[in-house]
Amino acid sequence: MDQRETERLLEAIRETRAAGEPAALAMIVRVKGSAYRHEGTRMFVRRDGTYECALSGGCLEPTVAEAAARVIATGEPVIVTYDLADDSIWGLGIGCSGVVDIRIERLEDDVITNEWSRILEQGEAAVFVTPLAGVSGRMIVRRTGDIVGGLTDPGLEREVAAAALARLGGPHPRSGPAQVRSAEVFYELALTPPELVIFGAGDDAVPVAQLGWALGFAVTVVDVREALLTADRFHGATLVCAHFSRFAGAVKLPADSSALIMNHHVERDRESLRFSLDSEASYIGVLGPRSRYQQLLAGLAAQGYVPESAGLARVRSPVGLALGAETPQEIAVAIFGEILAIRRGFDARFLTGSLRSIHGPGDKEDSRLKARS
């Protein structure tokens, strides 16, 4: 789930608790084959059957809401399996080939549930461990290794906690089930929102910031022109008015962040590039043709600044995917297509004709390529 979905989920929890109404949470814990959403996606269900967030394209939700009503009444969590290919059950001709397991539990007011809500509210990184079979209990593993709650098997708990931290620190962390000895557990990951820093507040930066916010990024816009930095233009973004000489104290580009350079001003772009190369940003996009990027590097070299090859490997120039984009809105789509693909370990190729999974990166050779060899 992205940041915007999480916010909707938390708001629904707050409203329901304030009204004293019972509710349930449903989460995809296992997917076999093709499904609309991936493991870790949550849905909030009220007693009257209304819900927030979605587990599918609309086909599963009413049935899940019915099952949730029973869970709300009994208080007993269940795992329900839905075979989307079975039209004798659905009668909808859905056409999906996947089997989806959904765990449904009543929303409780307990220490672990409340702590998880707080972690989601604060945007912290942690793992919520829910046993699916072979062991009981629940626990939260923070990035620091601290644990809230626990499992009924202390030895297994240590192994599960270590595996949770390894999953959280992996290159492309994702929620999912795992077998640990005789037990099966589900790791639900809470990640800090990905950070995007846009250098330049021109008109073409507006749709980039808007799309970034919609996709759950923590967006910062940096420009020396204060008149352009308004909340009306950049809803939800942090606005930093600073000359490049003040970047060190005013702008943060932490590890795993993305920088996008689009000042449309050679000196400001050059210094923004220098600052980004000196940072820990994992992605640095430079708007404009390759020749302009080479011009910026030549300007830095004339000042005696020669970036290391490892730093240059993080730079994308020209920025974005080759979509034939022309308008600012289309360019924003091309940029985020590239950012999302890189963050998730995908190659951003066309999906048509591919038989491999569209939800996991993997390194399996595409069946299309095998057929051509």
Distance between CA atoms of 330 and 90, rounded to whole angstroms?
A: 38
pLDDT for 22-81, tens place per residue?
999 999 999 987 777 889 999 999 999 999 998 887 778 999 999 999 999 999 999 999
pLDDT of residue 60: 86
pLDDT band at 96 (very low <50, low <70, confident <90, very high): low
CATH superfamily of 195-344: NAD(P)-binding Rossmann-like Domain (3.40.50.720)
Q: Is the pLDDT of residue 360 over 80?
A: no
pLDDT of residue 84: 74
Beta bridge partners of 28: 102
CA distances from 189 to 42, 44, 57, 142, 164 (A): 12, 17, 23, 10, 9
Say if residues 19 and 25 touch (Cβ distance below 8 Å).
Answer: no
pLDDT of residue 371: 36
Name the residue ranges covered by the structural domains of the chain. Answer: 1-109, 110-192, 195-344
User: Could you identify the residue written with the tokens 């202390």?
Assistant: 154
Q: Is the pLDDT of residue 363 over 60?
A: no
pLDDT for 121-168, tens place per residue?
999 999 999 999 999 999 999 999 999 999 999 999 999 999 999 999
